[in-house]
Structure 1
Amino acid sequence: MTDDYLLLNRANWDERAPAHAAARDYAVHRFLAEPDFLSTAVRFDQPLLGDISGLRGVHLQCHIGTDTISLARLGADMTGLDFSPASLAQARALAEKTGTGIDFVESNVYDAVSALGGAQFDLVYTGNGALCWLPSIDRWARTVAALLRPGGRLFIREGHPVLWATDETHTDRLVLGYPYFEMPEPMVFSDGGTYVETDAEFEQTTTHEWNHGIGEVVTALLNAGLSVTGLAEHRSVPWEALPGKMTLGDGGEWHLTEHPERLPLSYTLQARKP
């Protein structure tokens, strides 16, 4: 497979990074005003994440760094990695303004081991909306395993593959319109918007994306030599993934307005390296 998908997807993220940093959804203003403020995603993660103080961690696909800074505020020594230089520019600016010591590294996930100089970590963290940009879940799992020191832990909360398979353009019913399983060829989308409220207009609209079933993710981690220690499915997700069918809860998470028990929206998966 060529790396054309990287060029297309990077251009998309580069163009949207400034708009995301300016949007209220990412709450950059609160990071600047409140030294103990945490992102919605990390606040949700805390009960399962537990005490991470003193751990050396790397946040893969860190985007503009709000989750990375939140993890650092919980006491971890964090590194952030992303393939978008525009996103990293926003992340570095926010870290500097908040006085947070984080090393942000520009790299494709699959090249993370070499980009990070072969360093190993106590914690590899990945947040929502990350895996869909990767064509091979097996290659991702091998990268995670190489980044973990013996005894180190993977923590990922991700949009559920059933959610990714749901066609959000149907506002009156739930329709499975996209693949649940990883396919050799990408799903190609052309969308002029983004997932935050913004008046910005974009020119880079084409993306290549892949879904990865729960079984495929778990099996990939097992094949990479990790031991799965936890898998929880959730009825909420931190963005309005299905417009017109969701309600925003008090904790900043969105859930189905009617019968939320019908659909898993996200999951948390944890694994350890022996």
Structure 2
Amino acid sequence: MTSEPTPEPEHLTVNRGNWDDRAPVHAAAPYYEWERFVADPAHLSEVVEFDRPRLPALDGVEGVHLQCHLGTDTVSLARLGARMTGLDLSPASVEQARRLSRECGTPVEYVVADVEDAAAALDGRTFDLVYVSMGALCWLPSVRRWAKAVAACLHPGGRVFVRDVHPMCGALRGVPADGDDPARLEVAYPYVETVEPQVWDEAETYVATADGAPPPITHTVTHSWNHGLGETVQALLDEGVRLDRLEEHDSVPFCPFPGQMEPVDPADTDGHGEWRLTEGSDRVALSFTLLGTRV
């Protein structure tokens, strides 16, 4: 008698469908600078450029980028000397990432898998570097299971580097101006991890399409979670990862609160680069950088 296969968790099914829809839209969007990556072998993503002074030495490093999406950060790390592997839940994202790698002439290996299954999907290989970049942790129901997956991909002495949205930013909602009431931010969502996800039903994505038309997203439902900064750090500590650096930033490489933010560099008029609050930028952290070592 054969047992029925275990059903896939709902969050994986709905989030994969959404990211499969987003992948071709993002690949064509000016935000991701596809044509510039192909035309300029020295071009790096805005995220990697921001963190370049904080990254460990990359020349000759074997690295894996978990939740790599289109691979723009992955290719950027490879251009800085690392031998990179990228892993993502979305087959459509990985398809686009492989295409970018080919068109750039920058070799990167890509694997389709959920981050919690990374060790098995990578055949038990361990790496010098695990890299995690913007907008990754919010899709995970358990930061402890994520930390276990990270540690399993690192050999002793390997480093983990994370730059992501600060959980304080994730807990805020922008409220537009209404009559005499000015625009403001309010704490509207959980700061710490919850059992149940935040469920969203939205047909848009976070980048403008190439032609300005609404994105063709049919899988509109997503599930996401916030994770407190302490929870994230402690989860890594409990998996034998020593904390080497923790930095909170007043900026983030997109505009989460339209009408209440401004580019850090006024020359970034095309939406690229870092954004901070127009008023009160010293009151809340919007992103963070974490560097640790597997002991």
| TM-score, length basis structure 2 | 0.91
Among candidates 190, 207, 214, match of residue 229 of structure 2:
214
Q: Residue 17 of structure 1 aligns to a residue in which SS?
A: helix
User: Partners of 1:256 and 1:2 in 2: how far apart?
Assistant: 39
| Structure 1 residue 91 corresponds to structure 2 residue 97 | yes
Deviates more, 1:258-267 or 1:64-73: 258-267
Q: Residue 75 of structure 2 aligns to a residue in which SS?
A: helix
Q: Residue 244 of structure 1 aligns to a residue in which SS?
A: coil
Aligned residue identity for 1:187: Q
| Structure 1 residue 197 corresponds to structure 2 residue 212 | no
User: Partners of 2:261 and 2:220 in 1: how far apart?
Assistant: 25
Aligned match of 2:264: 249
What are the residue-to-residue correspondences of 1:117-196 with 2, within 5 Å? 117-170=123-176, 172-196=183-207
Tell which structure's C-alpha radius of gyration is larger: 2
User: Partners of 2:29 and 2:174 in 1: how far apart?
Assistant: 22
Aligned match of 1:42: 48
| Structure 1 residue 14 corresponds to structure 2 residue 25 | no
Q: Residue 68 of structure 1 aligns to a residue in which SS?
A: helix
Structure 2 regions of 5+ residues with no counterpart?
1-6, 178-182
Aligned match of 1:114: 120
Alpha carbons 2:63, 2:83 under 8 Å: kept: yes
- Report Cα offsets for 1:72-107 as digits up to 9, x if no partner: 000000000001010011100010011111100000
Alpha carbons 2:21, 2:216 under 8 Å: kept: no
TM-align CA RMSD:
1.2
Deviates more, 1:162-171 or 1:221-230: 162-171
Are the structure 2 counterparts of residues 229 and 12 from structure 1 closer, same or farther at C-alpha, using a change threshold of 3 Å? same
Q: Structure 1: which 4+ aligned runs deviate by more than 4 Å?
A: none
Q: Residue 99 of structure 2 aligns to a residue in which SS?
A: helix
Among candidates 278, 281, 284, match of residue 260 of structure 1:
281
User: Partners of 1:209 and 1:153 in 2: how far apart?
Assistant: 26
- TM-superposed CA distance for 1:192, in Å, is 1.2
Aligned match of 1:72: 78
| TM-score, length basis structure 1 | 0.98
Q: Residue 47 of structure 1 aligns to a residue in which SS?
A: coil
